[in-house]
Amino acid sequence: MKKTIHYGSLIFFSSCLLIMQGCIKDKVIATYTSFEPVYQSKAIVLQNIKSNQPKALQQTGKMVLYGNYILVNEVNKGVHVIDNTNPAAPQNIAFINIPGNVDIGAKNNMLYADIFTDMVTIDISDMHNARLKKVSYNIFPERLYTGNFVPDSSRYVVDWIKHEATSTTEISRNKSFVMSGEWADGSAGQSPANSASSSGGATGIGGSMARFTVVGNYLYTVGQSTLTSFNITDPADPLVANTTGVGWNIETIYPVKDKLFIGSKTGMFIFSIDNPAAPVALGSFSHACFDDPVIANDHYAFVTLRANTDASLCWGPSTLQRNELDIIDINNISQPTLLKVYDMEAPQGLSLDDNHLFICDGTGGLKVYDATDVMNIALITTISNINPFDVIAYNGIAIVVSKEGISQYDYSNINNIRKLSTITTNN
């Protein structure tokens, strides 16, 4: 039996001005869009987790800088492998099929990636010949679909078939109304699925939007409300060491030495990993409901808050929604305090290299600041014409994932930042 998941519906009204007494009849055209899941057996999907011919970038997501490679997630599809030996001429060399993939991490020639509610460990010692090493089942049970869709848990969804249907009905309206524009029901706009030298011995560097991070011999992942630590002393055999509750609507994780900074829609949480197998909560900082990545150094945390248009995920009035950068004093780690707020346009990912702060400000472009004085950060430059999502600034090169693709900038001379290259998306 065919099973479909409703995606949303839009009803468009023709503009009208009623100048006659009484009621008139008007036609309403409704277009319904649904998505039918395409299943494949888990055995076949897992057999196909390997290096394939490179694919054009479509919808890029999380990234990891791993030695001379950039690993970039294609949302719900897999991972692009970019040879970045020469940042001025990066080469898209392979694609690893991982349906349902959103997050990635890497350590000692192993790639860790989610595949719906499961996690796979992939040997990437030879990027042209990636090989599946292990499947860890039911690691992310909180991952759900919109529309109350429940998939067949014995198989993986590998694609969606789009269906559209249109119907016309008549309604009566009183002359006193003037109506124009469009109306959308509560599900409109939702996607069918909810939803980072030689490389040998390296640890991947993730961006600020990551849900996976590696510190020493442990991989840490965050779900909607939990923090899970995996012992990866044997990188090919990750073992769950501990799972602890954090809060709600958890979004990101970022390591700084012996601490983990975790961003959620309602605040920032700080955990000690002095005992790496069992992180311990140290402190937190609360705010209203925003999308909220966080990075930090020894003294300050930098948090971008982006207004969230989905009120169902938030509490409090919509007037609390703002776009800003918060700088938080973490010298007293158990009691973080807000120091300064800077207005932004639509900030998301950010990165810090020494005192240089890079912020992906959506349509505002990539903004680069001198953050030597956190009470008076100074804008150095704005790189326009891109809509950036996340950035990793490392060793004089800023790698930026945006709607337009993957761009790299040389900031070794901070006052003369130069674009090196772009691999554009094909959309």
* Assigned token pair, 266: 């309602």
Q: Specify the pLDDT at position 159.
A: 86
Half-sphere exposure of 282 (CA within 13 A, CB side): 20
Q: Specify the pLDDT at position 69.
A: 97
CA 160 to chain CA centroid, Å, is 21
Q: Specify the pLDDT at position 201.
A: 54
Q: What is the pLDDT of residues 344-402, one digit of tens each?
A: 999 999 999 999 999 999 999 999 999 999 999 999 999 998 999 999 999 999 999 99
Q: What is the pLDDT of residues 36-58, one digit of tens each?
A: 889 999 999 999 999 999 999 99
> Which of 93-97, 308-312, 397-401 is the least confident region?
308-312
Quick one: which of 236, 205, 48, 239 has its CA closest to 124? 236
Q: Specify the pLDDT at position 21.
A: 44
Q: Specify the pLDDT at position 149.
A: 79
Tell me the pLDDT of the chain averaged across its residues: 84
Q: Specify the pLDDT at position 318.
A: 47
> Which of 8-22, 266-280, 305-319, 393-407 is the least confident region?
8-22
* pLDDT(18) > 50: no
Quick one: which of 254, 248, 278 has its CA closest to 266? 248
Quickly state the pLDDT bin for 12 (edges 50, 70, 90): very low
* Residue in this structure with the two tokens 């090989």, named with its chain if needed: 131
Q: Specify the pLDDT at position 138.
A: 92
* Assigned token pair, 328: 């938080």
Q: What is the pLDDT of residues 286-299, one digit of tens each?
A: 865 655 799 999 99
Q: What is the pLDDT of residues 101-141, one digit of tens each?
A: 999 999 999 999 999 999 999 999 999 999 999 999 999 88
Quickly state the pLDDT bin for 320 (edges 50, 70, 90): low
Residues whose CB falls within 8 Å of the CB of residue 383, separated by 6 or more in sequence, listed in order: 365, 366, 367, 368, 409, 417, 419
* pLDDT(208) > 60: yes
* Residue in this structure with the two tokens 């694919």, named with its chain if needed: 55
Q: Specify the pLDDT at position 134.
A: 98
User: DSSP code of 175?
Assistant: T
Average pLDDT over residues 305-314: 61
Average pLDDT over residues 165-179: 49
CB 72 within 8 A of CB 61: yes
Average pLDDT over residues 11-34: 53
CA 150 to chain CA centroid, Å, is 23
Quickly state the pLDDT bin for 16 (edges 50, 70, 90): very low
CB atoms inside a 10 Å sphere around CB 113: 26
Residue 326 burial by CB count (10 A; 0-12/13-18/19+): exposed, middle or buried?
A: buried
For every residue of 222-272, DSSP letters joined together read: E-SSEEEEEE-SSTTS-EEEEEEE--SSEEEEEEETTEEEEEESSEEEEEE
Average pLDDT over residues 167-191: 35
Q: Specify the pLDDT at position 169.
A: 62
CB 369 within 8 A of CB 319: no
Query: Can you say whether the dihedral through the CA atoms of 76, 407, 391, 111 is positive or negative?
Result: positive
Quickly state the pLDDT bin for 62 (edges 50, 70, 90): very high
* Residue in this structure with the two tokens 């950060």, named with its chain if needed: 377
* pLDDT(192) > 80: no
Q: Specify the pLDDT at position 146.
A: 65
